[in-house]
Amino acid sequence: AKKWINIRKSYGNFYKVPRKQTKLAIMLENLGMNYDGRPHSGLDDSKNIARIAIRMLQDGCDLRVNERIHGGQLMTVSSSVPLEGAPAPQMPRYRN
């Protein structure tokens, strides 16, 4: 993987919070969610990050690739860069 979404960066930009408020437990707490599972378990951390991403999508965030590796260097990707590849998945629409 040479491109990815840094959820901490996306969260901070979308909700306009400082970097110190983008730790996993703090993000969950601010969204009214509890941490599910064991802290620092790769699987449990991934599931909780996915829950945050889903909530961000529901809140109207347009999650985009925001970091990449180029020539062995970590680089920030501008949010104005057009998306590449497949379109982002859409949240299911529920009828009332």
pLDDT, tens only, 36-77: 999 889 999 999 999 999 999 999 999 999 999 988 889 888
Which amino acid, residue 54? I
Does residue 82 lie in a domain region? Answer: no
User: Which residues pair with residue 3 across a beta bridge?
Assistant: 68
Does residue 83 lie in a domain region? Answer: no
Of the CA atoms within 13 Å of residue 32, those in its CB half-sphere come to 2
**What pTM, to 2 d.p., does this model score?**
0.77
Domain at 30, CATH number: 3.30.420.10
Quote the domain boundaries for residue 67.
3-76
CA 52 to CA 7: how far, in whole Å? 8
- Element (H or E) spanning 53, and its range? helix 42-58
Does residue 91 lie in a domain region? Answer: no
The number of distinct structural domains making up the chain is 1
